[in-house]
Amino acid sequence: MDDSHVVIIDNKEILIEQEQNLLELVRKAQIDLPTFCYHSELSVYGACRLCMVDVEGMGLVPACSTPPLAGMKVHTNTEETRKMRRIIVELLLANHSQNCPTCQKSTTCQLQTLARRLGITTIRFKNQNRDVPLDCSSPSLVRDQNKCVLCGDCVRICSEVQSVGAIDFAYRGMHTVVTPSFGKDLDKVECVNCGQCARVCPTGALTPKSEVDEVWKALHDPDKTVIAEVAPAVRVAIGEMFGLEPGVTTTGQIVAALKAIGFDKVFDTSFTADLTVLEESTEFIGRIEKNEHIPQFTSCCPAWVKFVEQYYPEFVSHLSSCKSPQQMFGALAKDILTGSLKVKREDMVVVSIMPCTAKKFEAKRDEFTHDGTPDVDHVLTTQELGRMIEEAGLHFKELSPESFHLPFGFKTGAGVIFGNSGGVSEAVLRYVTERLTGERRENYEYKSVRGESGIRETLLNVKGKEFSLAVVSGLGNARTLLEKIKSGESRYDLVEVMACPGGCIGGAGQPISRDPAVKQKRTKGIFENDRMLELHKSQQNPYVIELYKDTLGEIGGHKAHELLHTGYKNRKRMVDGGMTLSGFNGESALEVNVCFGTSCFLRGSQKLFHDILGHIRMNNLDDMVTVSASFCYEKCDKGPTIRIGDTVIEGCTIEAAVEAIERQTGPFKREVTHHA
Amino acid sequence: MNLTIMELNKIKETFHSRKDAVTHRVIVCAGTGCLVNGSLKVYQELLRCVEEAGLNAIVELKQEEEGIYVSKSGCQGFCQIGPLVTILPENIFYTKVKVKDAGEIVEKTLKKGELIHRLLYIEPGTKKVCQTSEEIPFYRKQRRFVLKNCGVIDPENINEYIAEGGYISATHACSDMTSEEICDMIVDSGLRGRGGGGFLTGKKWHVARLEENSKKYVICNGDEGDPGAFMDMGIMEGNPHSVIEGMIITARAIGADEGYVYVRAEYPLAVKRVRKAIDDANKLGVLGKGLLGSKYTFNLQVMEGAGAFVCGEETALMASIEGKRGMPSPKPPFPSQSGLWGKPTVINNVETLSTVPLILSHGIDYFRKIGMMYSPGTKTFAVTGHVVNTGLIEMPLGSTLRQIVYDVAGGITSDNGSPMSDGFKAAQIGGPSGGCLTKDHLDLPIDFDSLKKEGAMVGSGGLVVMNRHTCMVSVARFFMQFTQSESCGKCVLCREGTKQMLALLDDIMEGRGTEETLDLLEELARTVQKGSLCGLGKTAPNPVLSTLRHFREEYTAHVTHKYCPAGKCKGLAKFRIDKDLCKGCMLCVKKCPVEAISGEKGKPHTIDQKLCRKCGACIESCKKQAIKGDKAWTTVML
Amino acid sequence: METLRKFERVCEIVDQNGRNEARLIPILQAIQVEYRYLPEEILTFVATSLGISPARVFGVATFYSLFTLKPKGKHVIRICNGTACHVKQSMDLYDIICTRLNLVAGQDTDPDMLFTVETVNCLGACGLAPAMVINEEVYGQLTPERALALIDDIIRKETGNEPDHYGA
């Protein structure tokens, strides 16, 4: 071994290769040095102090922020480092809720694991835990501050990886908390429900919101017909909870388990993914022909959809109008299955099993609720299903595989690869190329859209026409790409975005794992699934073909639109919080309200506001006009928006505003004159 | 504007000839301390009286003329006896000057040359009357090097700074020295950072100088948060241009073109004076593009802190300038490699920076002759606590604690301020980050290395002297309470550790402690010291550890005998009713909020010690003084 | 029109600072001068105009002790608890003043919004300990009697009543 690149860790020579810090090197030495705040995908934070090691000549240093230097002699288990770790864990436990057995994260909690590993049996410090109420406002996540160790993983993933920043540290010292702005509830702020915060949270401070109890209730209700749909990414991950390797496919066991638990029917979301391919591709071809709303953005990921609605209202029309496979399934189930199974809509309960927390939010969106009931009643994460299987006492690994029910249980590989980042794009390509060329293609794989990078671009030549594609995962990457599109630096025809790095297989509903290689293994598992299936192209799915023939009519047709498409609109980042600046409350005054939401602000609402004030002052209208500002009219793509009296003016100019003010203050003026 | 040495000399000559032309110069101290005591009104009244007396009152030296030049100065250090008024050329030093004294000063001293004895300083011990400040031991025993011009020159007048030789060093640095030469010179001078660590300033500069980057920054750390220390405030208020000059030299040494002066927001006067100094320097061509006739650029701006002690830590300070929460980040990378916005940055403390021009102008040899071999130069201290003279002082490094406490500060006082000749118990040096020194250390030379050995540190230079009625556990608790509430909350050891240390100290002080409490406290303190992320956390346990080391028997008394030797811990006080004095009036029974007192009318009452919360309500209610606490109760403090 | 004028001033402050997120602290300082506290909706506006998340602005505003998200009383009394003042029993002053103003533990502003009482780490007036600041004016070498007299003066001026009934 080349001595100039070697570090000695616990008497073992370890070669420095790409490692940025001692911690990575220690891990390479197969030593599980504990840490809460180090994640290779995030910036180095250095707060938990658990990874302190002894370097000869340097003393105790945090391994996470110490660059490895050749010749270093590192000891990870000295009396000092051991004592320090114990004290740290004791300190954290003294300020931690003590209800381990009833915690969602019990057995997967790193604090709990560490306390056991370090053999901590007593806590010598005074319990300082304050009983802070839970924040259960979000449909996707539960925040329990009593379990927060302030490692900041959630804060950093939300801002660094997702570029959302819905939560941050607030206050200082012992009062420090991680919280949405102004201590509001999570559902009142810009959280997109991706749940990545919960994925990296080492404890039970952030967890997916469980709907297990509601699902059991429905299962036990004799009047309800409970049907399940299982998303592609679930089948390569749930096994991890039962001691299987990541990436091992357990579709048959999942179906068997669901049936055993009491589901009346078990279907595959991949079936509606196949439908999505046909609808979305057709929509795409149409847009290309008309050259409008290009690039087309995929809309399968509800976190991404909310992201666009909040931050990029000008691109809302670029989102595919297709519902996500989950919602397509819900619509079909409540519309068609109710008929074929002869159940009333209100008696059918659709439960989807998803790798995702945002899907819980999506299922509750107004767009997907009809006649007072949602198309999808409950969304269970992979973790929740795992827990139900545990509760039911099923030996998951030993279950004999069973098959999905038909017709919605039959899928092609195209529908399965939706679970990977790039999967939707690849599935669409498998259809679009054949449709445009009219030729059958033997090789169905498009490796150019596969890969691990968060932004992948590819150029594709179909019948002499070039298509530019981008596949993005991680919302921070999406933001980078959108900014490039806005500035004209980049141009694409089709853009696939998944909020979670790596796509749905890396969703926050998946089993908890600290191994960074898990995502690759799941990805591989999904592609293997594709290979093992008989069919690989959505257009080959016989049950899809039959569905169009019998019920939906043509692809993109009227009935298909009714059931499978929707529309999105922009939304406020902050639910509450307007501001009124009006000076006069004259009941007889004309109210002028200027929008100061992000988009309007960027479109010049501040200058407009000034100009209006100028006009009012110049013309002595102070007594007649009340000016206020608000945060959002939700017309962001057409800003600046202002409301004058009852008129809402979009794309307002000062001229338009003055005209409206003059027109509407007319009556007041007369009144004033009259009084005079 | 191209400002050259020649022009600087011209400004200097002009100022001196104008200054020499006046008959008298009256300097009114306008440091924070004297201002609080109304020195601004004294200044205005003096001006009014001078005019009323028909003398030519000069506010600004605009031309050569006879008259009385009345000017303001920065802090002169002896705030306790302010407002201070100095009259030149006689160098008469008046103390505790009131507005009503102004007329008399003009009539007697300025017009007739008579002294007003009641305004002169009288040495408490010898009763010697001191006419000039040099005669006063407080000043005589100091070595005012960095503070030399503080308290003399008008801090708001750039010309006077130049007249005292200011900006000559910076001009040299910008014209005839290379970056390397400047760094070498500072390394050779042995100058060590005055802010805390005592790191070699020149070495830090070299690292930043060698970084290849077109953008570099210089930051002056004026976030003096140590409660009870105000040395940097004194310099920023009294001689802001010396800080700016130090920063210009630093900028040249490392190749920076932009700088920040980060000033604590609780120092509004310092903020104002530094801002004005920067404006004046910009106008004159001392700062900005082509500064001091060179081809370089250096732009400087003030950043006001917003109330966070931790921002004195350099990475937290930079986070604050970047508009973030002032939370420290791990080092490496060090600021000199990757600092503000990822650019190489040198951060120096105020006093360090204002020493730099003096090293350039006086030369290395001169500087190294002051102080110690490895700790050359002087150090300013803010001496407070149980001493006769409190204030801002400057001593050569290596001076002993005895010199500071007895020669300069005039010895120990009791709680009520009267002298207490054998009263010395301890001195806390370096504020909440420092440790305490005891009688055994009175002759220890105070420098960076010797203090480190004793578990204390020079730190910023706060020096709190304590008399023998002080409870050292309470002292440790006071500082612990401070760091605990100023912890940024980022790293576990500092956030949770300081909180638990405080809880353990409370246990000790309130009678719940045992020997194990002391052991746990010590183990925790050592862990926090070794494992915390930043300097605040690493030094937070110092007061606890050093009091445990030097006054362990006092801790033991608290836990084993439930007794506070200094009688200051309210929680350990025992209240009892003197049976002979108690008339059984029931007043205390009614007053007690926890019903700990029982008894019937006409018979002596008793206190249930288990219930008693030691609030003292009964003592106040008793008309017969029949209820006694330990001496503990009355003074709850340190 | 007062609210409107203030808001225009906020716009001005944000513009003067180049809508630069690095200038967040100076911006908040300037806004606090205007409003005497940091109103939530204004902080949201600042976040919008700087292109950063409101959570970050909230995080910064709550980190530094000189920022306040609650309106303060008309007169702000800050008692120095630096070492020198602490040694000279400055916390006794604090207790006495709170008692005079009928402030219970945990409360720093009286219901009439006339007074806010807080502590400050060090004013740098250590030579004159104990010290306190009323509004912007610093008072040194205080005794409980002198401190109360200063407060009583304000109470008399503000309410026209004798101070012993304040807040009762």
Nearest CA in chain A to C67: A171
Give the N- to C-terminal CA distance of chain B in Å, as an integer. Answer: 56
| Chain C partners within 8 Å of B633 (Cβ) | none
Contact C87, C44 (CB under 8 A): no
Q: What ranges in A375-516 are assigned the alpha helix state H?
A: 382-392, 413-416, 423-437, 475-487
Q: Do A172 and B487 touch (CB under 8 A)?
A: yes
Same domain, yes or no: C54 and C80: no
Domain CATH code at residue B354: 3.40.50.11540
| pLDDT of B634 over the 50 cut | no
Q: ipTM, 2 decimals?
A: 0.90
Residues of chain B with pLDDT > 70, as a percent, come to 98
Asked if residue B406 and residue B334 are part of one domain, the reply reads no
Interface of C with B (CB under 8 A): 20-26, 28-29, 56, 59-60, 63-67, 81-84, 86-87, 89, 91-92, 120-129, 131, 136, 138-141
Region B610-615 average pLDDT: 77
Pair C85, C26 in one domain: no
Residues C51 and C27 in one domain: yes
Facing C66 at nearest CB: one of B224, B306, B478: B306
Assess if residue B566 is contained within a domain: no
Q: What residue has token string 């934070």?
A: A45
Specify whether the CB–CB gap between A565 and A367 falls below 8 A: no
What single letter denotes the amino acid at residue B394? E
Alpha carbons A657 and A644: distance in angstroms, whole number = 8
| Mean pLDDT value of segment B330-343 | 95
**C117 shares a domain with C58:** no
B562: number of Cβ within 10 Å = 16
Cis status of the peptide bond prior to A325, with omega within 30 of 0: no
Does any domain span residue B7?
A: no
The b/e string for C131-168 (b: 16+ C-beta within 10 A; e otherwise) is: bbbbeeebbbbbeeeebbebbeebbeeeeeeebeebbe
The Cα–Cα gap between B576 and B618 comes to 10
Match 């409190």 to its residue by tokens: B390
| Cβ-based contacts of A45 with chain B (< 8 Å) | 329-330, 490
* pLDDT value of residue B516: 96
Q: Are residues C8 and C55 located together in one domain of the fold?
A: yes
Q: Which residues of A touch B497 (CB under 8 A)?
A: 87, 91
Contact partners for chain C, using 3 or more CB pairs closer than 8 A, are: A, B
For chain B, the average pLDDT equals 92
Q: Are residues B537 and B435 in the same domain?
A: no
Minimum-distance CB partner of C84 among B228, B265, B327: B228
Q: Does A599 contact C at CB distance below 8 Å?
A: no
Q: How many domains does chain B have?
A: 5
Q: What is the pLDDT of residues A239-267, one digit of tens each?
A: 999 999 999 999 999 999 999 999 999 99
Strands A12-15 and A348-354: unpaired
Q: Are residues B228 and B353 in the same domain?
A: yes
Encode pLDDT of A551-605 as tens digits. Answer: 999 999 999 999 999 998 877 766 665 565 554 455 557 888 887 777 777 778 8
The domains of chain A, with CATH numbers, are: 3-77 (3.10.20.740), 88-208 (3.30.70.20), 212-564 (3.40.50.1780), 590-675 (3.40.30.10)
Q: Among A215-219, B44-48, B143-147, C41-45, which stretch is predicted with the lowest mean pLDDT? A: C41-45
Contact B309 C129 (CB under 8 A): no
Give the rounded percent of residues in chain C with a pLDDT score beyond 90.
48
CATH code where residue C102 lies: 3.40.30.10
In C, which residues are within 8 Å of A182 by CB distance? 40, 43, 54, 58, 69
Query: What DSSP state is assigned to residue B204?
Result: H
Report yes or no on B633 lying in a domain: no
What are B477-520's pLDDT values in tens digits? 999 999 999 999 999 999 999 999 999 999 999 999 999 999 99
Query: Is B426 found in the same domain as B288?
Result: no
3-state DSSP call for residue B448?
Answer: helix
Residues B396 and B452 occupy one common structural domain? yes
Nearest CA in chain C to B635: C89
pLDDT for A614 equals 85
Q: Is B305 helix (H, G, I), strand (E, B) or coil?
A: coil
Cross-strand bridge partners of residue C76: C116
Q: Quick check: B261 and B300 in contact, CB under 8 A?
A: yes
B540, B614: one domain: no
Any idea what the Cα angle at residue A487 is, between residues A481 and A488, rounded to 5°? 90
Q: Does the beta-carbon distance from C122 to B390 stay under 8 Å?
A: no
CB contact under 8 A, C65 and B306: yes
pLDDT score for A640: 83
Cβ neighbours of C127 in B, within 8 Å: 33, 78-80, 82, 384, 390-392
Structure confidence at residue A676 (pLDDT): 39
Cβ contacts of A149 on chain B, cutoff 8 Å:
492
**B216, B328: one domain:** yes
Residue A662 above 90 pLDDT? no
Distance CA B23, CA B64 (A): 11
Are C102 and C140 part of one and the same domain?
yes
Q: Name the CA dihedral angle for A510, A514, A516, A522, rounded to a multiple of 10 degrees.
A: -30
B224/B336 same-domain check: yes
Q: What does the angle CA C127 – CA C132 – CA C136 come to, to the nearest 5 degrees?
A: 110
**Minimal Cβ distance to C64: which of B226, B306, B462:** B306
Cβ–Cβ < 8 Å for A246, A521: yes
A574 contacts in chain C (CB < 8 Å): 44, 54
Distance CA B35, CA B212 (A): 47
Q: Which domain holds residue C146?
A: 75-165
Select from C44, C65, C66, C69 the residue whose CB has the most chain A CBs within 10 Å, as the one to mutate to test that interface.
C44
Handedness of CA A49, A53, A55, A60 (dihedral sign): positive
Q: Which domain holds residue B26?
A: 12-140
As a whole number, mean pLDDT of residues B133-161 equals 94
Average pLDDT over residues A411-436: 96
At residue B526, the pLDDT reads 97
Shared domain check, B273 and B412: no
Q: Maximum CA pair distance of chain B?
A: 93
Return left, alpha or beta for A535; rule: phi > 0 is left, psi -120 to 50 is alpha, else beta: beta
Quote the minimal CA–CA distance from B61 to chain C in Å: 30
**By CA distance, what is A598's nearest residue in C?**
C48
Asked if the structure places residue B216 within a domain, the reply is yes
Q: Number of A:C CB contacts under 8 A?
A: 94
Q: How does DSSP classify residue A135?
A: B
Q: Are B209 and B179 in contact (CB under 8 A)?
A: yes
> Structural domain tally of chain C?
2
Residues of chain C with C-beta less than 8 angstroms from the C-beta of B488: 63
Q: Which tens digit of pLDDT belongs to each residue from C39-80?
A: 998 998 899 889 899 999 999 999 999 999 999 899 999 999
Beta strands in B353-423 (DSSP E): 378-385, 391-396
Q: Which of C42, C44, C62 sits opposite A171 (nearest CB)?
A: C62
Q: What is the mean pLDDT of chain A?
A: 92
End-to-end CA distance of chain A: give it in Å, rounded: 99
- Chain C residues with beta carbon closer than 8 angstroms to that of B238: none
What is the signed CA dihedral for B119, B123, B129, B130, rounded to 10 degrees? -80
CA distance, residue A125 to nearest chain B CA (Å):
7
CA dist., res. B236 & res. B78, Å (int): 17
Residue B413 touches partner C, C-beta closer than 8 Å: no
In a domain, C70, yes or no: no
Nearest residue on chain A to C15, alpha-carbon basis: A606
Does the pLDDT value for residue B635 go beyond 50?
Answer: no
Do C79 and C26 lie in one domain? The reply is no
Across residues B91-97, what is the average pLDDT?
Answer: 96
pLDDT in tens, B302-336: 999 999 999 999 999 999 999 999 999 999 999 99
Q: Report CB contact under 8 Å: C54, A609.
A: no
> What is the pLDDT, as a whole number, of residue A675?
46
Residue among C25, C91, C139 minimizing CB distance to B306: C25
The model's confidence at residue A615, banded by pLDDT at 50, 70 and 90, is confident
Same domain, B261 and B327: yes
Judge if C52 and C80 occupy the same domain.
no
Whether residue B565 lies inside any domain: the answer is no
Q: What is the 3-state secondary structure (H, E, C) of B226-292?
A: CCCCCHHHHHHHHCHHHHHHHHHHHHHHHCCCEEEEEECCCCHHHHHHHHHHHHHHHHHCCCEECHH
Q: Is B340 on the interface with C (CB under 8 A)?
A: no
Query: What is the reported pLDDT for B633?
Result: 42
C-beta atoms of A46 and B485 within 8 A: no
Enclosing H/E stretch for A265:
strand A265-268
Who contacts A75 (Cβ-Cβ below 8 Å, separation ≥6)?
Answer: A10, A53, A54, A55, A56, A81
**CATH number of the domain to which C27 belongs:** 1.10.10
Residues C50 and C95 in one domain: no
Interface size, chain A vs chain B, as Cβ–Cβ contacts under 8 Å: 100
Residues C59 and C85 in one domain: no
3-state class of A557 per DSSP? Answer: coil
Does B458 share its domain with B332?
no
**CATH number of residue B621's parent domain:** 3.30.70.20
- The average pLDDT across A464-482 equals 95
Comparing CA positions, the residue from A504, A506, A531, A527 lying closest to residue A517 is A506
Of B367, B390, B410, which marks where a domain is finished? Answer: B367
Token couple for A382? 């992979």
Together in a domain, B555 and B597? no
Residues of C with CB below 8 A from A609's CB?
11
Which residue among B37, B225, B324 sits closest to C60, beta carbon to beta carbon? B324
Could you tell me if residue C94 is inside a domain?
yes
- Taking one residue from B and the other from C, the number of pairs with CB-CB distance under 8 angstroms is 140
H-assigned helices in B467-603:
472-486, 492-509, 515-531, 535-539, 542-550, 552-560, 587-591
Select the residue of A190, A584, A627 nearest C53 (Cβ to Cβ).
A190
Domain final residue pick, B106, B140, B174: B140
- Mean pLDDT of all residues in B137-158: 94
Pick C84's closest partner by Cβ from B266, B307, B385.
Answer: B385
User: Contact C22/B321, CB-based, under 8 Å?
Assistant: yes
Euclidean distance between CA atoms A35 and A291, whole angstroms: 52
Number of H helices, E strands in chain B: 25, 21
pLDDT at A634 over 60: no
Q: What pLDDT shows up at residue A114?
A: 96
B145 domain-assigned = no
Interface mutation vs chain A, best among B507, B518, B527, B529, most A CBs within 10 Å: B527
User: Is C22 a domain residue?
Assistant: yes
Residues of A known to be catalytic: 280, 283, 300, 320, 359, 362, 367, 504
What is residue C165's predicted lDDT score, i.e. its pLDDT? 67
Nearest CA in chain A to B528: A84
